[in-house]
Amino acid sequence: MYDDTIAAIATPPGDGGIGIIRLSGSNAAKIASALFRRGDRGKSVDVTRLNSHQLYYGQIVELTAGHTVDEVMLVRMAPPNTYTREEVVEIQCHGGPIPVKRILELTIAVGARLASAGEFTLRAFLNGRIDLSQAEAVMAVVSSRTSESLELAIQELRGSLTSRLGPARTELIQTLAYLDASADFPEDEIQGVDVAAALQRAERALREVLAASNLGRLYHEGVQIAIVGRPNVGKSSLMNALLRSERAIVTPIAGTTRDVITESINLRGIPATLLDTAGIAETKDVIEQLGIDRSRRAIESAALALFVIDGSQPSDPDDIVVAQMLAERLDRDGAGRVVLVINKRDLPQHKNHPDIHLALGGCPSVEVSTVTGLGIEALEATLFELASSLAGETREPATVSLRQREAVRSAVASVHAAITATVDTMPNDLVAIDVRDALMFIGEITGEHVSERVLDEIFSRFCIGK
């Protein structure tokens, strides 16, 4: 299957300044030769003889009619210095959907096959240019939502995850070699290894990868933040202040927001989704009640909650209702998942909110004014710290996919089982079983031990041109 030549459109669909058709395989240059005419005069050329990694101007022509489909720039890339380590040709044409599609059709008519999702990256993996963790990092690069998440993905593309796994892998290989040798040659004098200490070092290294993955996941997937409170305390104004734009409608009339409005912000590198919810209060209005029900669900689903109160007024019974709802969340999730936002700091303040503080315990509070912007940066700093705390203590994030994270967890479990077996003075050949399992799980991450089903699952999530 992977001996043929594949072709795909490598640029997004729709109108654009440029469109790229990518070919990869042993016949890529030969196929291009049949369609490409070099220069203004349209001279036939053997693309296999063109200099590698150099752009050439020309036209793509219809084989039968002979007329020009589009003016193009063509680049031939000779192996092994290509994305797939195969011969690669890229045809750069005008970015309209018609010329791009027509040129792709012509490459297929001449002998290429339409690439499947992720097949270019799959070939890069199968040909040894990248390992499996780097291949998965390609998707992380494409789907990055902030500059920081992009930087993390680029690190993984350069093999950062494989390097992080290196110390644990080395410890396990050396330990397994000793265990196998001592089991196979019990009467020979074999240099001793402190198996328990080596396994503990391996477990510690793997747990560090897990901790880094939690923070990396936060930078990649982001966090949801619900803005909640009774009507007319400034929830929508707070959302606009965090967005630095007038996204939500703000009026003096209570109950303006009747549905959950979502917008994204960059929270110091962490992608965050703000949920502006309907004010929670007693009402007989059916539509308002639907909005309040959605607000309650947002409180349940969001990772963090901003509880907004009007600092210029004493506590309202509806404030207490919201505080009690959030107190239940604190009891369940622990302190630090709710921020009390005392709004309207530009007005004379009413400092008496004992019921709210009592209900929410020691959760952080920030005074703000959505009119003047006072306290907004302090609120962002508090949110960043709380969001980061969701990932644990680590400060060295790593982009790790769900599949990779589960493999690391399995490796940790196997190493821990090996440590337990060592403490219980089990025979070395039985300890070796768990060590071998741990190495297999690490191999699933790098691609040394991976099934075709897993490969299909990974690369099916890629776009066709990648």
Neighbours of 111 (CB within 10 A): 16
- Look at the block and give the residue holding tokens 């930078």: 219
pLDDT, position 250? 46
Range of 192-196, 278-282, 427-431 with top mean pLDDT: 427-431
Q: Where residue 1 falls among pLDDT bands split at 50, 70, 90? A: low
pLDDT, position 327? 82
Closest CA to 211 of 386, 400, 384, 381: 400
Mean pLDDT of the 248-263 span? 55
Neighbours of 245 (CB within 10 A): 10
With 90 as the cut, is the pLDDT of residue 219 above it? no
DSSP-derived 3-state class of residue 381: helix
Q: Which tokens in the block code for residue 386?
A: 């709380």
Q: How far apart are CA 136 and CA 348, in angstroms?
A: 54
pTM: 0.72
Beta strand spans in 232-330 (E): 261-267, 270-276, 304-310
With 80 as the cut, is the pLDDT of residue 382 above it? yes
Task: Pick 269 or 6 by higher pLDDT.
Answer: 6
Q: Which tokens in the block code for residue 27?
A: 């016949």
Mean pLDDT of the 134-144 span? 85
* Mean residue pLDDT across the chain: 84
Q: Where residue 280 falls among pLDDT bands split at 50, 70, 90? A: low
DSSP string of 316-348?
PHHHHHHHHHHHHHHHHH-TTSEEEEEE-TTSP
| Helix or strand run (H / E) with residue 23 | strand 19-24
Q: For residue range 78-120, what is the model confidence (pLDDT) as tens digits?
A: 999 999 999 999 999 998 889 999 999 999 999 999 999 889 9
With 70 as the cut, is the pLDDT of residue 138 above it? yes
Mean pLDDT of the 270-289 span? 69
**Domains of the chain from N-terminus onward:** 6-130 (3.30.1360.120), 142-216+399-450 (1.20.120.430), 224-389 (3.40.50.300)
Q: Where residue 211 falls among pLDDT bands split at 50, 70, 90? A: confident
N-to-C CA span, the chain: 17
Q: How far apart are CA 90 and CA 100, in angstroms?
A: 12
Q: Where residue 284 falls among pLDDT bands split at 50, 70, 90? A: low
Q: How far apart are CA 236 and CA 223, in angstroms?
A: 19
